[in-house]
Amino acid sequence: MKVGDLVRILACTNAKGEVPGHPCTCFFCWGKSNRIGIVTKIDHRGHTALFDIGPWSFSEREIQDPALIEVINEEG
């Protein structure tokens, strides 16, 4: 993953209301995001991407988990 790549944050565990009566309050569900962003920064603390609802940072561990983040279009 590098600056300019498009990424998708996959649905969280409660995005479909799997816990009845408890809507998800994660950043992406709360903001009704389309969960697609562009990587804008990479440094020693992790990666940052800009989404339709604002910037979000994620760690190297999160990047390595294909159940959390998917690169959908690589720049270059």
Domain boundaries along the sequence of the chain:
6-73
Closest CA to 42 of 59, 61, 66: 59
Q: Mean pLDDT for the chain?
A: 85
pLDDT at 57: 93
| The pLDDT of residue 39 is above 80 | yes
Phi, psi of 28 (to 5 degrees): -75, -40
Of residues 17 and 38, more confidently modeled: 38
Please, are residues 34 and 56 in contact by the beta-carbon 8 Å criterion?
no
Place of tokens 């339709």: 52
